[in-house]
Every structure is written in C-alpha cells, then in structure tokens.
Amino acid sequence: MTERHITACNRDCPDSCSMVVTVDQGRAVRLQGNPDDPVTQGFLCERTSRFLERQYREDRFTQPLLRKGSKWVPVGWEQALDLVATKLDQFRGESGPASILHYRSGGSLGILKYFADALFEAVGPVTVKRGDICSGAGEAAQETDFGVCDSHDLFDLYHSKTILLWGKNPHVSGPHLIPVLKEARRRGAKVYGIDPVRTRASQLCDDFLQPRPGSDFWLAMAVARVAVDQDLLDPEAANYCEGHDDFLALVKSQSFDEWLRPTGVDADRARRMAAAYVGDKPSALLVGWGMARRRHGSRTVRALDALGAVTGNLGVPGGGVSYYFHRTRPFDLSFVQGRDAAPRTLAEARLGAEILAAQDPPIRMIWVTAGNPVSMLPDAPAVKRGFEKSEFNVVVDTHPTDTTDLAHLILPTRTLLEDDDVIGAYGSHFVRLSEPAIAAPGEVRHELEILRGVAERMGVAHAVPDSIDQAKRKVLGKLAGEGITVEALREKPRRNPMAAKVLFADRQFPTATGKVHLVTDAPKEPGNGNGYPLTLLAVSSAQGQSSQWIDKLRHAPLSATVHPQSAGDLSDGTEAVLESARGSLDVTIRWDENVHPDVVLVPKGGMLRDGRCANVLIAAEETDAGGGAVYYDEPVRLRPRD
C-alpha cells in the first residue's frame, strides 16, 4: 500500500526543505518537494532528489561496530554503551574530562543534536571546538558591526530595486532562493552577480562581474567611492554609524580606479553596478559564505556591512546585508552553556594540529556528532593523525567516512528519512518538523536514544530527556507561546514570528553603542604564491552535500577546472597533478572559460579513502576573526602527471 509522509531535510543546506516521501510497503520510492511549503515550493535540489541512492546503499551501518585489530565486529547496544561509559569514566578519572573531545558539526541541522552538548557538559564538561569553519568569519563580522548576524525576511526581496548576489551561488547553495529572485526581477529589480567563477547564477543577472579571488574588499571600497563621488551617501548615517568619518576617510584615500585595480574588473561595468546599488534603492546585498573563507574574510564581510550602512540600505524594506538567518535563535537552548562551560577549546580550523599538540592532558577520547572532520577540515592528514593518536574514538553516523575509518566504535543512527527532530533553517526564518517517513533498519537508533543510554550509565540522566517528544517540546519552549508547537508544525511549516521582516527598522542596533560599527582599515592586497600561480577554490557542488556525494560520482576521478589560458600545455581531459606547498592530488583537467584565469576549481567533500580530498592541499589556518577556516587562499599549481 502506497503512503505519503511529510518530513524535512536535515542536511547542512540553507533551505531545510519540506519533503513529501512516497512509501510503498515500507520502502521509500520517491522524494518530492512539498508544494504547500512557501519556501520549498514543490521542488528539491539534485542532491536530495537522489537521496534514495544513499538511503539504500549496501554499506549502511545497521548495528554497533567495535574495532578489534583490523576488523569490525558487530556488538549489541548494551555492550557498546557499557564500553562508552567505561571509557568515559577511565579517561575522566585518569586525566580529567578535558582529555575527552566532543566534536559536533553540521552534518544534521536537527536541533535535538544540542542534547549531545548537554550530555558532555554533564559528564565533564569536556573539551569542545571553537570557531566555525564555514560561517565563523562572516558571523563575527556582522556581530561586530550590527550586534547580531541575521537577515531580512526571504520574501522582502520583492521590495528591492537592486540586488547584489555577492559571492552567492544559489543553484548550488540555496536553490530555493531562485524563484524569489525571478519574482523580484519580474517586479522590476535589477540583479548583479559577483564571483570569480561565472556560475549559473549569471542567468538570473543583468550583469555578472568576476573579480580576482580575494579582492572583494577592494571592490566594495570602489562601490563606496562611487557613492561618495555621486553624493549618494545616507545623510543620516553619521547618526547611527560608529566610525563613520574614519570609514569615509578610508574610502576617500583612493580613487575609484585605484580601489578597483586589484580586482581586475572592467571599470565601466563595475561603475554601472555600483551606480545601481547606491542610486537605485532600496538595494539588497546577499552575501555568499565563500568570500569569508579567506585570511581577511571577516574584514571583507565588514566592508559589505559598511557599504550597506552608509548608503542607507539598512532598516528599510528591500534593503539589508543578508549573510545568514539565525537558525537557532527561536529555540530554547538554555540547557547548554557551550564554550563558556568547557575547560578547554580547540580551534576547529586547526583541529588536527591542536589535537596533536594538546598536553596536560592530551586528547585521549573523541566523540563525533554529525560530522566527518577528517575529510572536511583543513590539513586533513593532520586531522587523521590526531584521530590516530586518540585512544578511543566514537563516531555516530549512518555510512562509512574517513572519520568512521578511524573510529574504535561506530554507533549507527538515523538518516533524514528516518529522523525525528525540529529543524531551523539558515536560508529563511521558517521552522519545520522532521518525522520518520520510514522505519530505520536493523538496530539503528535515534541519536537521542544513544545519548540517553550513555547519560543513564554515567549518572547524568537529567541531561537528556526521556523521549524524543519531550525533547522537541523543550526546544520549542519559546515558540510555543507564539502558537508554534509540535502539533502546529505537524500541520505545516511555520515562520518564526519573533524574526523581524526588516532588520533594524528603527535604526537601533544591539551593539555596545547602539550603532553600527564600521570597518576602518584595509587588509593587505591579495598576491600570488611563489611558484604556485593559481588559487584553489574547493567549493560546493550540485552533486555533493559536503562529503555526502551522489553514489556514482563519489569514486569518480577528481576534476580540476581551469580557464584554458591557465592550463599551459595541459589539454582538456588530460591527467595531471594538482599540488600546493603541503600536498598533491591526481586530477583530470577540465577547461572552462567561465572560471577566472587565476583560479583552479575542484569540488569539495571528497574523501581521503577515494583520493579526492582537497583538504590535503589546504593549510590549517584561521580567518582574521570568528575562527573560520582559510579554505580559499591556498596557492596551487598544475603539472603533468609522471
């Protein structure tokens, strides 16, 4: 008998789509976007549309696995959880709780994952990571400038006359922005794209500029210079901007042409784009996450914040500088203290080196929640060595990864089609309910059940709710007073009513001064590495959600895409070596004139086990603020394969 179930995608994507799952005799046979969801609008991305390939892969974990020598041995849950408790007690007693590292990432956006934090705070508290490899630099920028990192309502774009997609590639990272942009254009908005790679977003744009990688700060200053030269600054900006005069002094320190020079962008096209942004208002600036993944990533986002402020595009419908929707803000997470409670933190962007260097005590045990750090963090070989040094690694996951390869105990958990959770989005202000569309196979358990089992054995049962339903109602505590309950979300997704549709409409900002804090200094101009003339961009792909790749492609040869003029003697389809100062990868060359000549483009999320992990090339380095990872500043070169 065929049934239809509604659930939500929990993977690390801004859209957090509502899905219709068709189930035939207990097996999911079709996935569709929920047509009744105002954001999902009836369609899914390519990755999730094909999730059934991953759901029914033969290598799915279905029971706990314990490493014995070089082999994996199935064990029962009682034995597995008893062993976890024994090891936690051992390391806590011998070396203190700081010898235990709990690493939680964004492999699932389910809010109930925060109960893992609660468990390890109660057990220890233990060592945790600091910073955020993906959005840390940009979040730090907006928290510094505005006091909060949040966005205008998604549909507020309908009020915009000009929209800048600055480093944003919605076809890959947020495809449900596309219908909104199309409708905004139908209503008369002009859209401009800015990215070193001419992505499919160019099809939505009136013009598309390709600056040199890492030069976005200078392009932002050039746009601000146009506002100065055309006398289009907001006359009230000095009243709500701290550092107003110093920022304008910085802008005036160079001419438009001088600011533009490092970008390599055509002056006439840049001036037209700038004139539209500063003159045809309200103007919305949609900030992509990639540009913040550079050494001066936080300062770059601060430049865009300042641009929005001094041109009068803050606090008005159709305006804003939107980087991230504060997805956790509506939830009650008062049961966790986070880094404030931890005896020690390790930088996520430098995790491998910091595990290896940790002393007094060393890291002896690692528990991984919702992550694959060995594949996804910079300097992957060092992360691998860090896990190899640890005496006992527990990984909660659904399928094999580079990280489960280094586990001593694997605990199988549910996929997104089996999950039961509450989902907050970072591409809109909607909240959704995840409920099981199908039963989990074998002995697979919900993560909350796993955590509860550990908590009971460790004498901290108070840290983890008795049931999934109780946990959901706990995190929805703040929203329940607004009518957003489990029952209400079961009917349909709901917009967070506490989120403003227009941020800072009163021009009051939750900073120490109540004003916007403007950036007042410029970073060092980007340059080429000695002997490594290209910049590596290992970016998201329509075929892979981080390290969760579509099946037929996950073992395929790694492609390196370059502009033909940058390929030298390497013709399209040639086998080559891509190398940095710290590693190399075998690749297949692909020519593409849409790629900036200074760039070599590879997909992110490949694994060491498949020879596709771009993070073997990338140095472990933190951004200028926020603990982000410097993924997109790595100098590389191509050479023929021997």
**Could you give the CA distance from residue 155 to residue 134 in angstroms, rounded to a whole number?**
25
- Token pair, residue 129, equals 């990571």
**Could you give the CA distance from residue 628 to residue 257 in angstroms, rounded to a whole number?**
31
Neighbours of 491 (CB within 10 A): 11
Q: What is the pLDDT of residue 555?
A: 74
Q: What is the pLDDT of residue 254?
A: 98
- Token pair, residue 55, equals 């759901």
Strands (E), 258-339: 283-287, 321-322
Of 627, 549, 594, 478, residue with least CA distance to 128: 627
Q: What is the CATH number of domain 136-323?
A: 3.40.228.10
**Could you give the CA distance from residue 298 to residue 313 in angstroms, rounded to a whole number?**
20
Strand, helix or coil for residue 454: helix
**Could you give the CA distance from residue 564 to residue 596 in angstroms, rounded to a whole number?**
10
DSSP state of 527: -
- Token pair, residue 591, equals 């020519």
Q: What is the pLDDT of residue 549?
A: 74
Strand order in the sheet with 430-434: 421-424, 430-434, 494-495
Q: CB of 393 within 8 A of CB of 366? A: yes
Q: What is the pLDDT of residue 263?
A: 98
**Could you tell me what percent of the chain has a pLDDT over 70?**
99
Would you kindly state where each structural domain of the chain is located, as residue ranges? 2-55, 65-131+328-495, 136-323, 534-640
Q: CB of 318 within 8 A of CB of 324? A: no
Q: CB of 310 within 8 A of CB of 233? A: yes
Amino acid code (one letter) for 468: I
Strand, helix or coil for residue 465: coil
Q: What is the pLDDT of residue 102?
A: 98
Nearby residues of 488 by Cβ (< 8 Å), 6 or more positions away: 494
Residue 368 — φ and ψ, nearest 5°? -110, 125
Which pTM does this prediction carry? 0.97
**Could you give the CA distance from residue 349 to residue 131 in angstroms, rounded to a whole number?**
7
Q: CB of 124 within 8 A of CB of 100? A: yes
Cα first-last separation, the chain? 58
**Could you give the CA distance from residue 416 to residue 418 in angstroms, rounded to a whole number?**
5
Question: What is the widest separation between alpha-carbon atoms in the chain?
Answer: 72
**Could you give the CA distance from residue 479 to residue 90 in angstroms, rounded to a whole number?**
41
> How many angstroms separate the Cα of 153 from the Cα of each of 222, 316, 493, 503?
28, 12, 15, 8
Q: What is the pLDDT of residue 545?
A: 81
Neighbours of 642 (CB within 10 A): 4
Neighbours of 506 (CB within 10 A): 9
Q: CB of 404 within 8 A of CB of 387? A: no
Q: pLDDT tens-digit profile of 206-255?
A: 999 999 999 999 999 999 999 999 999 999 999 999 999 999 999 999 99
Nearby residues of 304 by Cβ (< 8 Å), 6 or more positions away: 166, 216, 220, 285, 287, 321
**pLDDT, block means (10 residues), the chain with 642 residues:** 95 96 98 98 95 96 96 98 98 98 96 98 98 97 98 98 97 96 98 97 98 97 98 98 98 98 98 98 97 97 98 98 96 96 98 98 98 98 98 98 98 98 98 98 98 98 98 97 97 97 97 98 85 95 80 80 96 97 97 98 94 97 98 97 90
Nearby residues of 458 by Cβ (< 8 Å), 6 or more positions away: 85, 88, 89, 122, 123
Q: What is the pLDDT of residue 138?
A: 98
The CATH number corresponding to 65-131+328-495 among 3.40.50.2000, 3.40.30.10, 3.90.76.10, 3.40.50.740 equals 3.40.50.740
Within this chain, domains 2-55 and 136-323 share the same CATH topology: no
The fold of the 534-640 domain, in CATH, is Barwin-like endoglucanases (2.40.40)
Angle CA(12)–CA(17)–CA(23) in degrees, nearest 5? 110
Q: What is the pLDDT of residue 338?
A: 93
Burial of 443 (0-12, 13-18, 19+ CB in 10 A): middle
The fold of the 2-55 domain, in CATH, is Phosphorylase Kinase; domain 1 (3.30.200)
Torsion sign across C-alpha atoms 200, 205, 206, 209: negative
Buried residues in 255-284 as b, exposed as e (16+ CB within 10 A): ebeebbbbbbbeeeebbbbbbbbbeebbbb
**Could you give the CA distance from residue 544 to residue 11 in angstroms, rounded to a whole number?**
11
